[in-house]
Chain A
């Protein structure tokens, strides 16, 4: 029979208390007392039992497991007859474990409190290193986090919290008015896009199908942190996003570039800024032997070159491209009729009618016959008396006032004095008088068109030699002679033929024609300052005179033929003249980005035509002429097809992620840049010194390295 160490007799069993904090120190010697240690670990041993008193006698109560009643029995005072020496109680295993747990928890709590409330909590509470750009620009958690925000549990509270946090991001990263909406677009713009791109999904990935089923409208109220995860290490890509994440909101969802919807009109989203027909130039003009001799282009690179960032292909400047064939057209070479623009003219008027009405206009050439030029009208409109005279004159013709009313005749007289006054101002003050009449304008805007006061002075001396005296007397209120015919122009001046006057300024400039008392300007070449200045100045000027100037100068047949090539865009009621070809716009981020230089080595034998194929059937002219809407056009080139790109853009080749070709944040990149502010000047310095003194003081401090 196997020997059993533990007694199975019920009254021989010991009473174990493994849950107690303390155990008797004599347990291992089989001498554990029946009382056991106290709650605080003190030994409570006195004897083997607590004698009980019955009547006047004490009886032993020792447990049977300890041998039942002892032989000596209790002492007369009731104490146990078998005293037990005290022990040193030991902690139980459970107690040791508990103490270990509390000690470790205490250490952990100290660490946590240090992290949360310690002086270095910005370092301790940091869940991970920031990317360098944020690590350099932030000093503490509160720069990017709402430290005092209440804890948010409800959906509305969390949305508020997200918005508040995003505002901290947007404090530096300004994304414009639609800063929190997808792609920075308004709801209406998104709706238009959704309508335009309403393509049925080819094969929606399973995960996206689930997302789509759960969120028909896609995720709304996106936070910056939805995509840009910080505290993931210095080298973490903040812009990392999977293709599936890009497509969550999109109606057409697909696996990889192969499933991407076919391009529609990429990359020809608008007409070109310059009206240039590749079909006719390459098909008819360039192959011509005569033109070929004038260095007609032989390849696309003759006229185009990549921008510095390699993305856009630019058009070279005028001198490198169009000048060899078109320069003469601007200065008026071979042009039939006048080559200049009439700027100032002494208008003709009905002398007989005015004399009869008693209107005195003073000295005035008898042979003046023309009307006011639009430029003069624009300048006269700025003068209140002239404006009133023009209004009172109404539709009456200056050269035929026979049927005009007395008031109209009086208005005609006032108008003629206003013309004289204008001439006097321009002669004596020059360009400042012109600017004064044109009114305030944006800083830096050119508006005088290099107006020549000396040219006008010479004309005035020939046409109205007493002009300044007369105008001065008129302004003093003195009565002028009723009509005085100005002296005839000098013989030498009169002998200058019409064509000769223009021929004196073959490279552009001011000239006058005494036969019709008109001062002209002849365009001097490409980007002529007079034409560009006046076209720009009048493009969005609502006055009738300004419109007349714009219409005159922007006609395709106008001197300078600006609009033969340059186009005018009209949007939101504003006209913009495209003087420049498409230029890199670092401030703009489009949806699609493409780097030409990265693809040069991939071109086939066709060169640029590998991708840009001329479409001979396109009605290119439709987009120009009187059309000012850049979106209405037909490109010279056939839209690119996805097949061209997908040859290389596959996962195993050049890659096909969404972000390879697309930007999420679109619009004005100027907004995406960090808002940089000048460092503040210490208040004491600012109060005690002026700007120059401050600058010198700071320079001194920087040099000496001490305040």
Chain B
């Protein structure tokens, strides 16, 4: 019973945080461009509208199963990331999982995307998926190297143990291991589909990217899972680098400040091309990651 209520609460919190954060992002974006922008609730209305529309497309069973796979991956990820530290609530099934499992779950989304879009046969969609998988090749290596650095530092794969090790502000991994934070931050921006690494859904260029063939309810489902996945990733980075959160307001504050950082970065940089993105990831974050591994493992002043 506790597990069911807890899971529903986690799903609800991640959804509400998701649409409010994205609503803020759209308004922030508008103010930077000197216009008023939509209300904070705009993403909620968009999502509800899509969920209330009809869906009359038929492209075979995989076209319908793909969004289900993506949404299942997002909900499972939410349930395996502990939202609070030292609490019975908002834990989901994180007791039974660890960072390695979360790494696997993060890849379910792009794979489901490729399956669904591939069966739709739309050339714009296939172009978007190709770009997405190419970018994934670039961003995954530094992202996992950054996570490996954190796991090496604490010699555990448990998110709970890593959170417990960061007691005060001075023990935050953000300050004790800044190289890992930078190595993770750049792929993290890309995995949120934010500029300058937003070449996958690039509006105007590839007609909405992988989602070109989705309209109606399936697109609504994809929007929902996207917002929940964003919050799951934000909370994961808060857990790993900012010491987790004791209660929900602190969690929202920490996740929001991280979101503000990534949003500010993505507002000022223009879009990179696919090969530029991969080049960048394999030079800057990966180079930093390799330096970090050398500093942590082999040098005498390392841990």
> Is B one of A's binding partners?
no
